[in-house]
Amino acid sequence: MGSHPSLRTTPTPRTPMNPMLQILMIRSPPLIFPCSTPAILINAPKSSKTSTKPARSGLVNHGVPETLMKAVLAGCNKFFNLPMEEKLEFATKDIWKPIRFGTGVDIKVEKFFFWRDFVKVIAHPEFHCPSKPQGFSEVVQEYCKRSREVTMELLKAISESLGFEENYIEKAMNLKSGWQIFAANLYPPCPQPELAMGIPAHTDHGLLTLLIENGIGGLQIQHNGKWFHVNPLPNSFLVNTADHLEILSNGRYKSIMHRAVVNSKSTRISIATANGPSLDTMVCPALELVDNESRPAAYISMKYKDYMDLQLEGKPGLEHVRLPVA
């Protein structure tokens, strides 16, 4: 087991609820960001079978300027419009390369065609970015910095929701050298969307992923075995709790299973910024959240870097670290 900073208060065990509603309940008064109104998370997804118009969701009043969110989406659009040979310079399957480009359009895996191009850059602790198109690197860097600040605020609130002092997660996960990945996805219109998938179902490694998109929609989350459409509020962040928050909280927060579907009419661009511990952090359930009688540790300890390497094996990381229920 790794060592973590100590608790300020005794944690109040919480029953995991709809993961998209979790953050709403964690702090009273609500999260305060450097803007005049408190941030609000509204998430009430409806079943994709019963509803054609899902409820609008997202973290608003987060303090990141709308102009910056629009500029980073526009910058990604320009990047994807570069000639293919300029993008292929970054094509690699090595997840440790600081800049990666991939094109999945037309590759059939299992029963679906994958319909996505992506560019991923390591943004923290060191920032990397393609130098083209002009101005792209600057806008991505500013966006990553601002979205990381939002993440740090959310993690303070989550620390408190678990009964810890507000900097608990920051210290336990060595977030000063925390790993941040900026991932932009392009989903072109697909003539037969029912035969294709943008991104197959997965959970994210790390603590929190913040996602924005260009207003087209396509993200779905799984809850109680059913898929729900997510309909983001304008200029909001969709916040996904990820694997290492599930591990650290000993299952109180659940990592959100999600996927992206495609459509036949419009090009969708989404940007996910994944925020995790430093690579050398051993992540295990916080000792204070483990009780050998009533709530034994549900996950083994693993270095974050080793967990990331498991991606290459294609098996979901949580399956490697989850302990069998006694």
Ligand X SMILES: O=C(O)CCC(=O)C(=O)O
Angle between helices 66-80 and 136-161 (to 10 degrees): 130
Nearest CB to ligand X, comparing residues 73 and 260:
260
Nearest CB to ligand X, comparing residues 72 and 211:
211
What is the enclosing helix (H) or strand (E) of 202?
strand 199-202
Place of tokens 């996960």: 173
Could you give the CA distance from residue 132 to residue 111 in angstroms, rounded to a whole number? 35
Q: Which of 20, 11, 39 is nearest to 256 (CA)?
A: 20
Q: In the β-sheet with 219-223, what is the strand arrangement from edge to edge?
A: 199-202, 258-260, 219-223, 226-229
Give 6's DSSP letter. Answer: P
Task: Give me the least distance between CB of 270 and ligand X, in Å please.
Answer: 3
C-beta of residue 269 within 8 angstroms of C-beta of residue 189: no
CA 104 → CA 40, 169, 307, 316, distances in Å?
35, 35, 24, 20
Could you give the CA distance from residue 193 to residue 205 in angstroms, rounded to a whole number? 27
Nearest CB to ligand X, comparing residues 167 and 235:
235
Joined together, the tokens standing for residue 106 give 């037309």
Nearest CB to ligand X, comparing residues 59 and 289:
59
Nearest CB to ligand X, comparing residues 115 and 299:
115
C-beta of residue 105 within 8 angstroms of C-beta of residue 87: no
Task: Give me the least distance between CB of 139 and ligand X, in Å please.
Answer: 19
How many Cβ atoms sit within 10 Å of the Cβ of residue 271?
A: 23
Joined together, the tokens standing for residue 37 give 């109104």
Task: Give me the least distance between CB of 196 and ligand X, in Å please.
Answer: 13
Task: Give me the least distance between CB of 296 and ligand X, in Å please.
Answer: 31
Q: How many residues does the chain have?
A: 326
Nearest CB to ligand X, comparing residues 71 and 211:
211
Task: Give me the least distance between CB of 186 and ligand X, in Å please.
Answer: 10
Place of tokens 């690699």: 92
Task: Give me the least distance between CB of 163 and ligand X, in Å please.
Answer: 30
SS3 of 258-301: EEECCCCCCCEEEEEEEEECCCCCEECCCHHHCECCCECCCECC
Nearest CB to ligand X, comparing residues 31 and 211:
211
Could you give the CA distance from residue 68 to residue 190 in angstroms, rounded to a whole number? 29
* Residues at the contact surface with ligand X, assessed by CB under 6 A: 183, 185, 198-199, 211, 213, 218-219, 258, 260, 270, 272
Nearest CB to ligand X, comparing residues 22 and 220:
220
Task: Give me the least distance between CB of 162 and ligand X, in Å please.
Answer: 25
Nearest CB to ligand X, comparing residues 76 and 284:
76
Task: Give me the least distance between CB of 135 and ligand X, in Å please.
Answer: 23
Task: Give me the least distance between CB of 160 and ligand X, in Å please.
Answer: 27
